[in-house]
A and B are shown apart, each in its own frame.
Chain A
Amino acid sequence: MRDVPLSNLERQFLLDALEESKRLDGRSTPQRRPLELHFGRVEGTALVSVGETQSDHASLVYAQASASIAEPAVSRPIEGMLNIFVTYCGSAAARFADAAGTAGGDEAVEVTRLLERCLKESRCLDLESLCIVAEEKVWQIRLDVNILSAAAGGVADAASVAALAALAHFKRPEVTLQGDQVTIHPVSERDPVALAIHHYPVLSTFAFFNRQKSGSNAEKIVCVDPTWQEEQVMAGKIVFGVNPYREICTLHLAGQLLIDKSVVLRYAHVASQHAKSVVDLIKNQLHEDTQKRLAGQTEEIGFAFAFKQNSILQNVKPAEMVSTANLEHV
């Protein structure tokens, strides 16, 4: 299925509005869309929404972390492995509505590579702690990132928050070693163990637009957290992967853009502030989730509870005894 294409009139309107620092959704150029994070019932599941859900300007990403035991790579015999898989669901946008499930094509590849560079290559996850028996058995962490809604753009940023949250929330089974004997304890026997994360790099996208009147050497207009329409019209973008300690883990420059290094440093600073607020959000939500689990409030855990609000589009029905049939011993 094809997306509704962006008309030339819309393009021109967008660019004209940006000349006056106005954006279509009413944000100012340095303003990000609100971010919401919810954890699921299963440990290692996270749902992130960027922008107001139900509007045309929202993105929704779901990430799940899971673990299995595998042989380590020959070159790294004492390290576990982290594999990231990004897929666009059929409902993400009309262009992905294909039963054959091409899983997203170019866009999925770009997001996968960004996440790999941001999370894998930055070594934010301690892989040595995932070793069970050197050269034989290690934990292989699988991170599935499903893009549920991509029509509004901002997918890479939302995906990085969801992926990090899923890793932070996930707990792997406890393992004990007695000589040669390796025992993997089921969850019912021993509490599972959280993953060791050194630092939290977060992706942040900045879109650059050429000014129409002056030449292309003039200072460009910059928008933080661009929407899909803005991405169609931009001259180029920079995606930063920065952690709250202001360490740049990922730098990705795309499009037809020539920028000065001072620009890069300036926006890296902005990206690190965003990283700090994201990490605070993840830690707060994680703390709340842990409290609820410790208090045994199982009804308040999970996605169904997280989305409850007073809206006419929502309907909730409590548990109900339904059957009056007299079911004898069958």
Chain B
Amino acid sequence: MPVKDKALELRPLFAQLGLLGHTDGSVMFSLGQTAVICGVYGPAEVKPHKERLEGATVEISLRPPSGPTGLQEKAKEAVLKGLVESSILGSLHPRTSVFVSLQPLDMDGGELAAAVNATCLALMDCSISMRCLFASVEVTRTEDGIILLDPSQKQATKAVAKATFVFESVNQDVLASHLEGRWSEKAFQAGLQAALDGSKAIFQFYRETVKRKFSKELMMK
């Protein structure tokens, strides 16, 4: 069965850096219609009972667009905490805290992926030292075995399995994966490959975004 035309298309990307003037780093990021605002403070002061001698204390706060914070949000916060801790050079900033706050505005498929990408862009806007960047894409698999890359909510209605992969920029290793539903090994490998290709486009987007931000300063030299 041939793969559908739009199956391997990454939706339009949008990022606006520095949206919140008072934070150290912030971004409004959207993947198609899935939009999220992320603000980062750090490295900043930390409460004495939370301070760590080995490095920065990372705290994540993710709020749903409506309703009280639930388990879904806590699960995403745990994924993000691991990602941020492994990618920032926390050991350069012992006894400080890095606080990441996320507020999704619209959820149209790929919410975890959008949150991850927004976090990375906000950390870049904050200019915190990082050992690698990270990017994430969601893939879904339908009953017929068709793999969709970065589907919208409407496109994902027929999905029987979903997977969100997070890749790092240096060696393209997998930093995190979050699976729902049943994935055969063959389907998993195909989904992983599709997500990897999608993440390359996102890393390119990061590069272009930061280059644009400093374009005026670079020009003056």
> What residues of chain A have their CB less than 8 Å away from a CB belonging to chain B?
1-2, 40-42, 45, 47, 53-58, 60, 62, 64, 66, 87, 89-91, 93-94, 97-99, 101, 142, 144, 146, 148-149, 151-152, 302-304, 307-308, 311-325, 327, 329-330
Instruction: Tell me the complex Cα distance, A93–B23, Å.
Output: 7
With A312-B213, A327-B190 as known contacts, state yes or no: A149 contacts B106, CB within 8 Å. no
- On whether A142 and B105 interact (CB within 8 A), knowing A58-B21, A91-B26, the answer reads no
Interface check B163, CB cutoff 8 A = no
In whole Å, how far is B24's beta carbon from the nearest beta carbon of chain A? 10
Choose among A1, A53, A315, A320 the residue with the greatest number of B CB atoms under 10 Å from its CB.
Answer: A315
Residues of chain B having any CB pair with chain A under 8 Å: 1, 3, 7-23, 26, 28, 30, 33, 35, 37-41, 44-45, 59-61, 63, 65-67, 69, 97, 99-101, 103, 105-106, 108, 141, 144-145, 147, 149, 184, 186-187, 190, 193-194, 197-198, 200-201, 205, 208-209, 212-213, 215-216
Determine if A323 and B11 form an interchain contact, defined as CB atoms under 8 angstroms apart: no
Complex Cα–Cα for A308 and B8 (A): 26
Partner of B145, one of A54, A320, A323, A330: A330
Known: A101-B69, A151-B21. A302 touches B106 (CB 8 A): yes
**Are A327 and B186 in contact (CB-based, < 8 A)?**
no
Q: Within the assembled complex, what's the spacing in Å between the Cα atoms of A319 and B9?
A: 7
Contact pick for A320, options B9, B101, B184, CB 8 Å: B9
CA distance A317 to B15 in the complex (A): 9
Nearest chain A residue, comparing its CB with the CB of B40: A91
Q: How far is the CB of B137 from chain A (nearest CB, A)?
A: 9
Pair B13/A316 contact, Cβ less than 8 Å = yes
Complex: A64 Cα to B1 Cα, angstroms: 42
Name which of A149, A312, A322, A325 has the most chain B CB atoms within 10 A of its CB: A322
- B65 nearest in chain A by CB position: A64
Cβ contacts under 8 Å, A149 to chain B: 20-22
Which residues of A are found within 8 Å of B20, using beta-carbon distances? 60, 91, 148-149, 151
Q: Which residue of A lies closest to B1 (CB)?
A: A329
Given the interface contacts A54-B19, A60-B20, does A315 sit within 8 Å of B145 by beta carbon? no
Can you identify 15 A-B contacts, CB atoms within 8 angstroms?
A: A1-B99, A40-B105, A66-B66, A89-B61, A89-B63, A94-B22, A148-B37, A312-B215, A313-B16, A317-B12, A323-B149, A323-B194, A325-B194, A327-B3, A329-B144
A315 touches which of B26, B63, B193, B212 (Cβ 8 Å):
B212
Complex Cα–Cα for A56 and B18 (A):
10
User: Are the C-beta atoms of A89 and B16 separated by less than 8 Å?
Assistant: no
Which of A60, A64, A94, A322 touches B9 (beta carbons < 8 Å)?
A322
Most buried by B among A40, A91, A98: A91
Q: How far is the CA of A308 from the CA of B28 in the complex (A)?
A: 11
Task: Assess the B14–A323 pair: CB atoms within 8 A.
Answer: no
**Contact: A90 with B39, CB < 8 Å?**
yes
Q: Are A315 and B205 in contact (CB under 8 A)?
A: yes
CA distance A314 to B205 in the complex (A): 11
User: Which A residues touch B3, using CB under 8 A?
Assistant: 327
| Given A302-B106, A312-B215, A314-B15, CB of A146 within 8 Å of CB of B197 | no
Chain A residues near B99: list those with CB within 8 A.
Answer: 1, 90, 97, 99
Residues of B close to A41: CB separation below 8 A: 33, 106, 108
B21 touches A54 (CB 8 A): yes
Asked if A307 meets B63 with Cβ closer than 8 Å, knowing A312-B215, A313-B17, A317-B12, the reply is no
Please measure, in the bound complex, the distance between the C-alpha atom of A327 and the C-alpha atom of B189, giving whole angstroms: 10
Distance between B111 CB and nearest chain A CB, rounded to angstroms: 13
Whether A312 and B216, one on each chain, are in contact in the complex, defined by CB atoms closer than 8 angstroms, is yes
Contacts of A142 in B (CB 8 A): 66-67
3 smallest beta-carbon distances between A and B, as pairs:
A91-B39, A90-B101, A304-B30
Residues from chain A with Cβ under 8 Å of B35 in the complex? 40, 302-304
